[in-house]
Structure 1
Amino acid sequence: MKPARSLLAALALLAAFIAAATQAATPSPKDSQVYYQIFFRSFHDSNGDRIGDLKGLTSKLGYIRQLGATTILLTPLQPSPYYHNYFATEFKAIDPAYGTMDDYFAFVRAAHAQGLKVYLDQEFQYVAEGHPWWRDAQCNPGSKYADYLIWKDAKHCEAEPFLNKAKWEGYDGRNVGIAMVNLSNPKVRQYFQDLLLYWADPHGDASGRDGIDGIRIDHMMDDLDHKGLQKHLFADFWHPIFQALKARRPNLGILAEQADWGFGTAWLTDGHADAVFAFPMRGALVSLDKRQIVNTIHATDKATPAGKVQVIFLENHDLDRYMSEVHDDPARARAGAAIALMLKGDPLIYYGQELGMRGMQPKNVGTSGGMPLTDAIGIPVREAFRWKAHLDAPGSATWYRRNATFWDARFSRSNDGVSLQEEENCPDSLYRWYARLLAIRHARPEIGSGDQRVLCDDDSAMLCLLREQGGQKTLVLVNLGKTAARPSLGTSLPSGTAWTDLLDDDKPGTTDAVLEPLQVRILGSR
């Protein structure tokens, strides 16, 4: 079967974008981005040990660029007793399972050569048992690291734990402690400032050669864990570090994960982040309820200061996969993707989302007779990226095979139709839908950086979004109802605009045509 002409046209637009982006200067964090978030251990294995690694990721940069992403967001790379690599035992290091520091810098250089930016996820509010600070200071108040952690006793034998739980199950099944770092200690702040400056500017010459383009701050809070032990962290800890980073690399992006999963206003103002995650919007997009989506658009706009950005997402490493959230309904998955990629903000695609990978975390965690509280419960939404139809094909990062519970109950199955191999040459696949939407986004500047208006703000189930900039307009229409309907735009659009259907070979389009349930129409002004 030959791809439709509209698909070929969209891919031609994307190819032009790739060529231009590869030659472009380093952009500002305020420039429009498309994030591709990778759960690192699960992406691509290069050496046959079933663990995703740096060489494997480097070999797949072309895929990420071809899809239409501009920015890679990685989960942590530091050594840790936990499979997700949060809660480090060393900060200025790479987990040996992923490769070496040389492999890391080779990856950054290769990403930049492809025109891709690199963001690293940073979580250093805690350390795991085995970290030198903890080892040296345990029951040793005279240690030079004595005040690097928070202690519950004067003898420094009991560290203040993460979430009031002394031990958590690690990757090898052992229970491992997690301690709260003393972020109020000026020496600690200086250490992490120097660490981030190293990742951003490893040569120390402000050139950014081999340096990251942004950071994600995990679990960012002003009063860490609401314990009252470390308060005013926005002003006293984060802001000075961000100032130092911006002084060295003015275009470095700072993306905060607001710990309350709300609208994030305080993180953008008092916390001085450039962007936050649009958690409320994600909830609305799961519902696919027109009124909830519209109300959340208005609330998000109101909560976001000028010059700041909301990252729009359907999935991440902590949440159930969108295809599972919409009950395996491809039409709902397509509608949600179209809205997410056309909304104001910077979209994020979680690896495998574009294939329709499935996954839901257990819901009976911590209950009597249910699953114990352990970090392993996140495995179902962190399964191996599906490069090939067969799950055991070379490159498949099925590191979780060792865990019988999650391997036996895994969501991915060989030859289930959810793999790049099975979808890339199928013009009607979800993968091709994502590629087409991203090509449209890159070809229409008003989608990336223009204004946004909600039209059809009525009781109908028709969602109508207008993106406009400098006289150019894109109109997004999605029927979220259960019956065919016609958009009621009235006089909200200027008369005389000539429209083309961006999903149908740029043929002449009309704004009042009937849409079937969950049908998407994207029109562009000529």
Structure 2
Amino acid sequence: MKLAAITGMFCIAVTAVAATWHLKKSERKNGTGDEIIYHIFQRSFFDSNGDEHGDLNGIRQKLDYLQELGFTSVLCTPLYESIYYHNYFAIDFQKIDPKYGTLQDYLVLIKELHKRGMKFYMDMETQYVTEDSKWWKDAYGNPKSSYTDYILWDDHENKKPSTIVSGLTELKGYDGVTHKITTANLNSEKSKAYNDKLFSYWLDPNHDGKFDDGVDGFRIDHMMDNLDNKGALPHLFDTFWNPLFAKLRAINPKIKIVAEQANWFSLGLDYLDKGGVDEVFGIRLAYAIRLFRKDLFMANADSTLTMNPPGKQQIVFIENHDMSRYSSAVSGDIRKLKIGCALNLLMGGTPAIYYGQELGMTGASQNFGPTDANEIPERQAFDWYANAQGKGMAYWYKQKGEHKDQFNDDKPNDGISLEEERKDTNSLFNYYKAMIRLRRSNSAITKGTYKTVDNDNDKVFSFIRRDREKAVVVVVNLSDKDQVAKVDVPGLVGKKVSVFLGKDMPVVSEGKLNLSLAAYGIGAWVVE
């Protein structure tokens, strides 16, 4: 969830912590195996019934596409009923948004994913509700309501529901309609019991203990220890989140909890240490990759990939539903797009790809005023067809709203569609497909440790991934001019070097790889 643009992201220089070259029993692993997450804003993905809203059956119909590319997991934005198009700020956490389909449609999708050996992550944000919820309707002005304890009130008469993030009391939707929003009282016993039951239900909807119809993980949106830093709900790690996660793990020990750290400046290490979660998002690294500055690459890669507690990871990504598209950030430069792809998949952690990222879809946040329409450009329809028209196109945002004619990144015959890119062997789509296949071919990439390695060129960034069997050295030219570099690879003497990515072999001399890279070029070599 994002209600305002995040600025000043790169006042974030951190002390780089280097990993050691040799593996030890106590060494932390940075890889998580072959998992690659496909992050879907489902309202914009594929429409199965002709109403221009992407839906659950649309995702199910495109699972062949996801597996063709090599994705193993699906992460959706919230599915529950809300008056907002993004489904944050719920009406009813227990009801699937009717535009997405029915509960049965949902269960069929989950079972089909599991039949294919794929996983599903559900996005949850139970910290807030709107005035449309039964909690609000029954408890407003009625302190004796059975739902009074579900909402955080700033008075004793239930006339002042507490504010949400940034002190907001309401939010204008893209359709021009404003609704009031308030904070749920996460520390009331009734609220805790409700969340225990709600989350547990999605783990095993039919209560048979088999989990074939249940989620494999939860993404916790806007998770905080002191919610919105108001002091009204402090110490939530201890009083709410850890007890909830413990109950979920008692039901299914394999469940994975992923937290979006509310403070995007944070590495999220406190969530991993004290918040009971398995993974957080490498947000600082995502922004660093957009700026093509070696100092930011080094600082943020080292901190993101080497400082996590044992057994904990970061989700490595370059775009999501709260950020301008990576392609817009790099002005559509195909060379930078391919570098973004390679770094997303080769650096470490658990990689996540946002729907349409593999096509180079564009879209940047707008400033239409205080409205959730500002982020629609980042969440536009997946471009299936060259002419931007056809079965499944999810143009829900062009149906209504004062800004409906201003969302037009999906231009016909612009080269950014699946239909066009399939045919082009040099397309970004085919590069993603090849890079995922390449990633999965080497255990040093899927399971190895990360370490930044030195070179003698300020325009060149280099790192190494290593497991017990082999190592892969990756080198990136961050400039628009050809560059040469000497990359210092510890333990290189006497090792065999072969090409992993690219065409050219470096000259190996005195423990260094002497190489040249074209403008915005990337190469990788196996050392064994």
Please, what TM-score do these two structures have when normalized by structure 1? Answer: 0.90
SS in 1 for 2:300: helix
Aligned partner of 1:112 among 108, 111, 114:
114
1:290 aligns with 2:294: yes
Unaligned runs of 5+ in 2: 1-30, 508-512
Give CA-to-partner distance per residue, 1:152-183, whole Å, 9 cap, x none.
22111221122322221235432111110000
Q: How far apart, in 1, do the equivalents of 2:472 and 2:137 lie?
A: 58
Once the two structures are overlaid, the 10-residue window that deviates more, 460-469 or 46-55, is 460-469
SS in 2 for 1:477: strand
1:300 aligns with 2:323: no
1:375 aligns with 2:368: no
Partner of 1:233: 236
Q: What letter matches 2:447 in structure 1?
A: S
Change (3 A) 1:504 1:172: closer
SS in 2 for 1:443: coil
- The question of whether the paired residues in 2 share the 8 Å contact of 1:501 and 1:523 is answered with yes
Aligned partner of 1:472 among 463, 470, 473:
470
Give CA-to-partner distance per residue, 1:25-65, whole Å, 9 cap, x none.
xxxx9545211100010000011110001111100011111
Aligned partner of 1:416 among 414, 436, 461:
414
Partner of 1:161: 163
Give CA-to-partner distance per residue, 1:95-115, whole Å, 9 cap, x none.
111100000000001111222
Partner of 1:345: 349
1:211 aligns with 2:209: no
Partner of 2:484: 486
- The question of whether the paired residues in 2 share the 8 Å contact of 1:481 and 1:517 is answered with yes
Q: What letter matches 1:196 in structure 2?
A: F
1:250 aligns with 2:250: no
Q: How far apart, in 2, do the equivalents of 1:44 and 1:186 lie?
A: 40
Change (3 A) 1:102 1:171: farther
Partner of 2:133: 131
Shift of 1:387: 1.0
Aligned partner of 1:334 among 333, 338, 347:
338
Q: What letter matches 1:405 in structure 2?
A: H
Q: How far apart, in 2, do the equivalents of 1:434 and 1:51 lie?
A: 27
SS in 2 for 1:474: strand
Shift of 1:440: 1.0
Partner of 2:84: 82
Change (3 A) 1:236 1:494: same
Q: How far apart, in 1, do the equivalents of 2:169 and 2:296 lie?
A: 40
Q: How far apart, in 1, do the equivalents of 2:402 and 2:171 lie?
A: 19
Partner of 2:436: 438
Partner of 2:194: 191
Partner of 1:8: none
Q: How far apart, in 2, do the equivalents of 1:161 and 1:230 lie?
A: 12
1:259 aligns with 2:262: yes
Partner of 1:317: 321
SS in 1 for 2:414: coil
1:58 aligns with 2:56: no
Q: What letter matches 2:133 in structure 1?
A: H
- The question of whether the paired residues in 1 share the 8 Å contact of 2:502 and 2:523 is answered with no
Partner of 1:387: 384
Matches within 5 A, 1:1-12: none
Shift of 1:425: 2.2
Give CA-to-partner distance per residue, 1:199-249, whole Å, 9 cap, x none.
111232332121110000000001111111100001110000100111111
State the identity as a percent.
Answer: 38
Unaligned runs of 5+ in 1: 1-28, 366-370
- The question of whether the paired residues in 2 share the 8 Å contact of 1:500 and 1:509 is answered with no
Please, what TM-score do these two structures have when normalized by structure 2? Answer: 0.89
- The question of whether the paired residues in 1 share the 8 Å contact of 2:342 and 2:435 is answered with yes
- The question of whether the paired residues in 1 share the 8 Å contact of 2:32 and 2:349 is answered with no
Give the root-mean-square deviation of aligned CA atoms: 1.8
SS in 1 for 2:487: coil
- The question of whether the paired residues in 2 share the 8 Å contact of 1:254 and 1:275 is answered with yes
Change (3 A) 1:31 1:202: farther
Shift of 1:502: 2.8
Q: How far apart, in 2, do the equivalents of 1:278 and 1:406 lie?
A: 33
Change (3 A) 1:355 1:406: same
- The question of whether the paired residues in 2 share the 8 Å contact of 1:263 and 1:303 is answered with no
